[in-house]
Amino acid sequence: MGDISFSNGISNGNGFHGNGHSVGGAQRKSCWYEEEIEENLRWCFALNSILHTGATQFQDIQLLDTKPFGKALVIDGKLQSAEIDEFIYHESLVHPALLHNPNPKSIFIMGGGEGSTARELLRHNTVEKVVMCDIDEEVVDFCKSYLVVNSEAFCDPRLELIINDARAELERREECYDVIIGDLADPIEGGPCYQLYTKSFYEFTVKPRLNQDGVFVTQAGPAGVFSHTEVFSCIYNTLRQVFKYVVAYSAHIPSYADIWGWVMASDSPFLLNADEMDLRMKQRIKGENRFLDGKTFTSASTLSKAVRKSLDTETHVYTEGNARFIYGHGTAYKHNKA
């Protein structure tokens, strides 16, 4: 992850050039976040302040107060979630899988340290137990302290918080789950998570821990017309090698500057139509979703022609020795306008 750096109106070495001007002869500081999405493409927006920056045993972490997106959590230089639109990501990750299960009582979250996935799960009145397993205790403690929107979820007696590697924890446990959720960081080269996107992991660790009618769902990276070939298409194809029924879906998340993808898999067919999904939402979920309903999911799972064609013809299977990775990193820095 890039360091915070300072500039006086000249290039700061991170690809940003300021347009210097004065206001009453005084300097005015401007604070920015910049993420390199591709080699020749960067995403940049203004910050009110940098609330925290540091490093844990496993990863770098920043909490930014952004002008367009509110508070934003950045891990290993990749924006994980932003206050103004995280509901799109977390509703999409959680609710389709639970609604397609006939009676989801026990859930296992791989990752999910910020608590938002647990928050959405605990809105379901069928849920009796949620195990959230995140490898980084410092990130979890940090999110408990700073992300007050999830305070209630962290205090819910149905939530069991485990600090461990998700693979080791699933292999250690004997119980099975109705839904397993992969709320993991993106597969970044050198990062801690890429092995949890592999065929062997899905086949020998995840699937044996699912109950009958069990559903697995994972976040699957960028899913735009051009970006979906990074990891989205091969995660979809990898899960097709392991499960009988696999559904890919996507939605635009403004703070990510792209369409984002999820993949849901099961050995039981996904048969709910939009009206049936809406009915289950009314019966099961406390409060009203801001983003997801039956029609929205129908739209989300109707991918564009280009992406559908690519997924249908994808042959790459994600393995430890043949992995694909998300490109890029982000940098928060200050620029002094003279």
Sheet holding 330-337, edge to edge: 6-7, 330-337, 28-38, 41-55, 60-66, 70-75, 78-82
Note whether residue 327 is domain-resident.
Answer: no
With a CB cutoff of 8 Å and minimum separation 6, the contacts of 201 are 167, 195
SS3 (DSSP) at 27: coil
- CB–CB of 305/229 below 8 Å? no
Residue with tokens 């909490």: 63
Shortest CA distance to 15 belongs to which of 330, 338, 337, 301?
330
pLDDT of 265: 98
pLDDT computed for residue 75 by the predictor:
87
CATH number at residue 265: 3.40.50.150
| 300: three-class secondary structure by DSSP | helix
d(CA 46, CA 30): 7
Please identify every residue annotated as catalytic: 183
Question: With contact defined as beta carbons under 8 Å apart, do 302 and 1 qualify?
Answer: no
pLDDT of 331 reads: 55
Domain membership flag for residue 326: no
Residue 72 structural domain: 6-83+332-337
Are residues 158 and 223 both part of a single domain?
yes
Is 237 in contact with 314 (CB distance < 8 Å)?
yes
Domain containing residue 35: CATH number = 2.30.140.10
Looking at the 3D structure of the chain, how many domains does it have?
2
Domain identity same for 61 and 161: no
Question: Are 64 and 168 members of one domain?
Answer: no
Among 231, 217, 259, smallest CA distance to 317 is for 231
Q: Is residue 37 part of a domain?
A: yes
The answer on 154 and 30 residing in a single domain is no
Dig out the tokens for 168 from the structure: 């080791």
Instruction: Give the Å distances, CA to CA, from 163 to 90, 219, 243, 335.
Output: 21, 20, 28, 38
pLDDT in 10s for each residue of the chain, 338 residues: 333 333 333 333 333 333 443 334 444 467 999 998 888 889 999 999 999 888 988 888 899 999 999 999 998 888 999 999 999 999 999 999 999 999 999 999 999 999 999 999 999 999 999 999 999 999 999 899 888 899 999 999 999 999 999 999 999 999 999 999 999 988 877 666 888 999 999 999 999 999 999 999 999 999 999 999 999 999 999 999 999 999 999 999 999 999 999 999 999 999 999 999 999 999 999 999 999 999 999 999 999 999 999 999 999 999 988 888 877 655 555 544 43
Pair (216, 141) in one structural domain: yes
State whether 302 and 155 are in the same domain: yes
**Domain-located, residue 323:** no
The pLDDT, as a whole number, for residue 328 is 64
Count of alpha carbons within 13 angstroms of residue 50, beta-carbon side:
21
The pair of three-digit structure tokens given for residue 311, joined into one six-digit string = 């997924």
Domain shared by 46 and 75, yes or no: yes
> What CA–CA distances, in Å, run from 230 to 59, 76, 195, 284?
22, 18, 16, 36
The pTM assigned to this predicted structure is: 0.89
Question: 170 and 231: one domain?
Answer: yes
- The reply to whether 320 falls in a domain is no
Tell me, yes or no, whether 178 lies in a domain: yes
Q: Are residues 201 and 262 in the same domain?
A: yes
